[in-house]
Structure formats: C-alpha cells, structure tokens
C-alpha cells in the first residue's frame, strides 16, 4: 500500500507567480540531479517549484510505487519528446538533396520546430494551471507522435515545414510542465533524484534521436525514418499513459494577468537576467550552427561519410553531461561569475579546432566545443533562477524567458549558419559560430561586474 503522506488541506491554491519566493538553495536543489548536473533549460516549466500552499497531498517518496512509476514515465516522455525534436538534424543533407533546396532552407526543418516550441511554452505553462499537467503531457506526446507518422509521407517541402512547426508546438507540452508535475507529486527530499531521471531521458532522447535517424535513414530513407520515430513515439506515449499516475498534488489556479505582466516586466528589466538570457540564446545559436552544418561537411568532399556514420558524432553529448557536472562543482567552489567566461573560452577554442581537416581533429574540436557549451548552459540555467529568487522573485517568468530566448537563438542562428556554409563553406560556419562564442565571452565578462542581488553572489 502506498505510503503517501497527508496534511491538513489549506485554502485554494494561489497562482505560482504570486507565491512567496523560495530560498535560492532550495531552487538549486530542485534543479539539480544527483550527479550535480543542472536541469537544462529545455526542461523548465513556468512553475518550477512546489507551491507553498499545496493541497493535502505532500508528495510520494522513494518507498511508494507511484514514485518509481513517475520516474519511469517521465524518462520515457523525455526520450520521446527530444528524439522527435532533433531527429532531422543529421538528415539535413538528405532533405536538401530530396527537395533540391539549400542548406539554409533545409535547416528550417529543425529551426521551425524549436522556434514553435519556444513560442508555445509561453502559453502552455499558464494553460496547465487550469487543465492540469498530466493531460498536457499526454496530449503533447500523442499529437506530436501522430504528426511524426504523417510527416514521413510528406508530399512536398512546404508540407514538411508546416508539419514540423506544428509538431514543435505540440512538443512544447512536456518541457513546459514536467518540472511542475514533479514538484507537485514528489516530496521535496526526493525531487532531485526524480528530476534527474527525467533529465536523463531528455538527454538520451536528444542523442539517440539523432543517432537512430542516421541508422534508420540508411535502411529505409529519411522520410520513413521520421515515420518510424513517430511510431516509437506513439508506443512511448502509451507507456506514459499507463505508468504516469493521476495527479494528487495539483489544484486549479487562475493566474492573475496583472501580476503576471508585472512579473514579466520585472524579469525583462533586470540587467543581470537579461544578460543571462542573451548568453543562453547566443550559446545555443553557436551550438546549433555547428551541428546543423557538420553533416553537410562530413557527407561531402573530401570525407563522403555515410549518414549513419555521421550520426555517431552526437555521442559527444556524453562529454557534455560530464562537463555540466564538473561546471556545477567549479561554480560552487569558484563562483558562477568565474566559470561562465572560462567555459565560453573553451567553447571558442573548440570551434577554432574544427577548422582542421583531419577527422580526428574535427572530433577533438567537437568534444572541446561540447564541453564548453554545456559548461556555459548548465551554470547559466541555475544562475537565472537563483538571481530571480534573490531579486525580482518571479522565478516562473524568469525560467520561461530563458527558455524562449534559448530556443529562439538556436533556431535563428542555426538557420543563418546555412548562409555561411553557402557563401564560404566550413570557414563561413566557423566565422558565425565563433563570433557568437565571442559574444558569449564578452557578455559573461560584463556580467561579472553586474551587482549581485544576494550575499551568495547571485
């Protein structure tokens, strides 16, 4: 029998945007998995912590079967979501050839998806306050997976573009509400471990989505690859429906528009937060610039590698996970203000290393580049929430703004890199990505001189 703990029921739950701000240390704990890897921004909802005035339910513990069901279900959900977001990245050269379109145009197959995801997160978070988190997650996964099946039979490029945009809107459901679901259903002491399982699913999903696409395209073509991953998504959705428990800790709330707008204004006028938002968008922009164009480089002269071999380069994300953990430890020891510029420099060094022609040098540069990116992103993610708590208090709006700018930057610059490739080849891509890395470093150095909002240096 479940050992769910109960407490006296309070009054109606207030919207998260008007709750008292929690302690920054509590925020960091809720956003960090057991290995010390901060939860990436793509996994952040509008409401990231358990509200102070929660219903009678106080959360499942690791002794409850529901706890294990939640961990498994959200691991699967994370895999399904991020596999379908990034499935086309390694397929971009095949898509270019099939539709006779430029790399710039082909990159929209990914950029439109992430842009739609960024926009949709702004609306889905508040909607989940009324509809609930579980329905949003299930609808998101099911609709996105069905669209994936259909997109494999796309008759033309326009249909694929529209379909990927709509799919991106649907895929926003999980990252918009997953952490809120966890915060409401899991007791605070167990939250980091449960969140870590979800984050692992998103990381593995993003990596395996690219790798599976490369292998499947070699067997059934790029179009049927999307359909197969859509079928896997439907199967995964069924597992989530079976295992994800009904909500016990959720109660409806109607966020006040006036308060929401005021908190959004506070977030967008706080200099430190704005710098962190721009750093996030610029960093992902440089990252996507390299990863979007790398398949074109490696499948063309002088390498002529098969798509399935190229897909293996995304195994470098494993180095990113280690880098995120290490960056978190360094930030705790030396401070975030020291780590972000250093990670940015590592990022830039990796980009320049990839100018070399030998495959081993390209891979080495990609490893260094990935380590730098995850270092910047992981530290900046936790910094945003901690600074919001210490200053404006609107943690939900700060997290949402970070997510929106993060994905928008990746979408825009990931596509612009195609112009660099068309005009100058790989040096053009490096010029764009390297320039963005320089911007990250400069902004991080400026951020060092922004006044801290707390004694902890946030």
In the structure encoding, which two tokens stand for residue 20, read together?
């008292």
Whether the predicted pLDDT of 55 surpasses 70: no
Per-residue pLDDT tens over the stretch 197-251: 787 778 888 898 999 999 999 999 999 999 999 999 999 999 999 999 998 888 7
pLDDT of residue 102: 95
Where do the domains of the chain lie, and which CATH numbers do they carry? 59-252 (1.20.1250.20), 255-453 (1.20.1250.20)
Mean pLDDT, the chain, integer? 84
Q: Are 180 and 129 in contact (CB under 8 A)?
A: no
DSSP structure class, residue 102: -
Question: Which band of pLDDT confidence, cut at 50, 70 and 90, is reported for residue 393?
Answer: low
pLDDT of residue 205: 86
Higher pLDDT, 395 or 132: 132
Whether the predicted pLDDT of 43 surpasses 70: no
Nearest to 244 by CA among 84, 80, 67: 67
Q: b/e map of 248-278 (b: 16 or more CB within 10 Å)?
A: bbbbebebeeeebebbbebbeebebbbbbbb
Per-residue pLDDT tens over the stretch 255-268: 677 777 887 888 88
> For residue 169, with 0-12 CB atoms within 10 Å meaning exposed, 13-18 middle and 19 or more buried, which class applies?
buried
Whether the predicted pLDDT of 336 surpasses 80: yes
Rounded distance between C-alpha atoms, residue 95 and residue 159, angstroms: 13
For 274-285, what is the mean pLDDT?
96
């Amino acid at each position: 029998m479940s050992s769910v703990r109960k407490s006296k029921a309070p009054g109606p739950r207030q919207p998260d945007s008007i709750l008292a701000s929690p302690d920054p240390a509590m925020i960091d704990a809720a956003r960090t998995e057991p290995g010390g890897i901060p939860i990436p921004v793509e996994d952040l909802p509008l409401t990231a912590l358990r509200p102070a005035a929660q219903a009678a339910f106080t959360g499942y513990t690791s002794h409850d079967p529901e706890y294990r069901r939640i961990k498994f279900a959200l691991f699967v959900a994370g895999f399904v979501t991020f596999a379908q977001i990034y499935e086309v990245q390694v397929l971009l050269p095949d898509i270019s050839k099939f539709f006779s379109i430029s790399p710039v145009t082909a990159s929209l197959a990914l950029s439109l998806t992430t842009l739609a995801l960024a926009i949709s997160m702004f609306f889905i978070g508040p909607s989940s306050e009324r509809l609930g988190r579980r329905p949003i997650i299930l609808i998101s996964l099911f609709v996105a997976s069905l669209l994936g099946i259909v997109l494999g039979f796309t008759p033309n490029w326009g249909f694929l573009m529209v379909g990927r945009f709509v799919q991106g809107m649907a895929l926003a459901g999980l990252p918009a509400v997953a952490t809120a679901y966890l915060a409401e259903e899991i007791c605070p002491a167990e939250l980091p471990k449960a969140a870590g399982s979800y984050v692992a699913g998103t990381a593995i999903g993003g990596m395996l989505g690219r790798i599976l696409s490369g292998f499947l395209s070699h067997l059934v073509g790029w179009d049927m690859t999307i359909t197969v991953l859509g079928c896997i998504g439907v199967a995964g959705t069924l597992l989530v429906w079976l295992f994800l428990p009904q909500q016990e800790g959720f109660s409806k709330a109607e966020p006040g528009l006036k308060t929401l707008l005021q908190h959004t204004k506070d977030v967008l006028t706080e200099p430190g937060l704005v710098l962190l938002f721009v750093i996030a968008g610029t960093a992902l922009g440089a990252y996507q610039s390299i990863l979007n164009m790398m398949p074109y480089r490696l499948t063309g002269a002088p390498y002529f590698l098969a798509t399935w071999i190229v897909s293996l380069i995304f195994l470098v994300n494993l180095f990113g996970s280690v880098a995120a953990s290490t960056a978190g430890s360094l930030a705790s020891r030396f401070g975030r203000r020291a780590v972000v510029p250093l990670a940015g420099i590592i990022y830039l060094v990796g980009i320049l290393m990839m100018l070399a022609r030998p495959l081993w040098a390209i891979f080495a540069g990609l490893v260094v580049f990935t380590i730098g990116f995850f270092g910047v992103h992981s530290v900046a993610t936790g910094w945003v929430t901690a600074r919001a708590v210490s200053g404006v208090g609107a943690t939900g709006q700060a997290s949402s703004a970070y997510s929106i700018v993060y994905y928008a930057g990746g979408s825009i610059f990931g596509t612009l890199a195609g112009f660099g490739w068309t005009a100058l080849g790989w040096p053009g891509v490096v010029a764009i990505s390297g320039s963005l890395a320089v911007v990250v470093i400069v902004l991080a150095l400026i951020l060092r001189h922004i006044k801290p909002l707390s004694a902890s240096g946030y």
